[in-house]
Homo-oligomer: A and B are copies of this chain.
Amino acid sequence: MKVASIYGPAQEDLRLVEDTFDRIKHVENFPALSRMLEHVLGGGGKRVRPAIALLAGRFGDYNADLHVPLAASIELLHTATLVHDDVIDASPSRRGQPTANALFNNAASVMLGDFMFAHAAELISRTDNTKVVRLFAHTIMAIAGGELHQDLSAYEYSQDTMQYFARIEGKTASLFATCAKGGGMVARCSQAQIDALTAYGLNVGMAFQVVDDILDFAGDEQEMGKPIGSDLMQGTLTLPSLLLMERYPKDNPIKKAFRTKKPRAEFVAQAVQMVVNSDILDETYGVARDFRDKAIAALATLPANDARSSLEDIAGYVLERRA
């Protein structure tokens, strides 16, 4: 399935989002910064988040002059957090491409991320709605808080699934919720509609991250551009790992792997094998499906139009993707 085809009424204005990035990439008298922005904003992303923001706007007074900056702001914010994440994790590559920190060093990448945050703030101000600006600010807090929780709990194996869900709500689902909520707010939807859109976004985001965490055990290394088991190598416990630890509380390879902050690859490989050979991934997919179902159910009160069909398709796609 080609993703863009499911974006329906958002497809056309997603091109304006790309145009916005093209303008941002060009920084006068600063070719080095332009090159960095070109690298991190250069197409290839699926633009799921901006698509949701644009589609959510279709349930009220859709206005491209406001919704396009909103959608671009959110994708830019998302990309900025990836740039900072890659610095933090010292990741050499993302989706098969070298990361900014690998190409331009850490110092430049931190500043590049800050520059992109600033541009995202500039774009969000173009919605001319300080409530949306506040939503944007709270979302960055949630993302940074979620990442911080993840960092502080790295290599800690006394975590439970509640903490996991709180963490992925912060680091991933909060931004999906903001896409849908922001789109509705800018379109001056009713509060009930905004609440429905927010619930949709939050649940799609949860499903998205749970699937991400499955793919770290069973995805296509080539397409993902990173090795299987990367989360465990970085000390991050995700739902499949937590379920493995629940089943083998006393003796399991994750405990052994987390004894040092440089896990031995053999223990991680062993944990991956145990997960893949069990029904843990089926159970985890079940959790992702529940989130998807909740997302689609949340749309039930909204008019059954093209935009709603696209949002439903996006929720479906989130579960089917293999990378």
Interface residues of chain A, those whose CB is within 8 Å of chain B, are: 27, 30, 32-33, 81, 84, 87-89, 105-108, 110-115, 117-119, 121-122, 124-131, 133-134, 136-141, 143-145, 147-149, 151-152
Number of copies: 2
Determine the distance from Cα of A87 to Cα of B118 in the docked complex, in whole angstroms.
19
Q: A106-B88, A119-B137, A122-B137 are in contact. Are A111 and B144 (CB under 8 A)?
A: yes
A216 to B51, CA, bound (A): 50
Q: Check B107–A151 contact: CB distance below 8 A.
A: yes
Residues in B with CB closer than 8 Å to A117 are 114, 117, 140
Name A32's closest neighbour in chain B (CB-CB): B152
Asked if A122 contacts B138 (CB within 8 A), the reply is: yes
Contacts of A107 in B (CB 8 A): 88-89, 151
Chain B min CB distance to A185 (Å): 13
> Shortest beta-carbon distance, A100 to chain B, in Å?
12
* Contact in complex: A133, B138 (CB < 8 Å): no
Contact B140 A118 (CB under 8 A): yes
Which chain B residues lie closer than 8 Å to A126 at the CB level? Answer: 130, 134
Residue in chain B with minimal CB distance to A108:
B151
**From residue A79, how far is it (CB to closest CB) to chain B in Å?**
13
CA A139 – CA B115 in complex, angstroms?
A: 10
Flag if A134 contacts B125 (CB, 8 Å).
yes
Interface centre among A114, A130, A145 (most CB of B within 10 A): A114
B119→A152 contact, CB < 8 A: no
Nearest-Cβ distance from residue A164 to partner chain B, whole angstroms? 15
Contact B32 A114 (CB under 8 A): no
Q: B108, B113, B130: which contacts A125 (Cβ < 8 A)?
A: B130
Contact A148 B108 (CB under 8 A): yes
Chain B residues lying within 8 Å of A30, measured Cβ to Cβ, are 145, 148-149
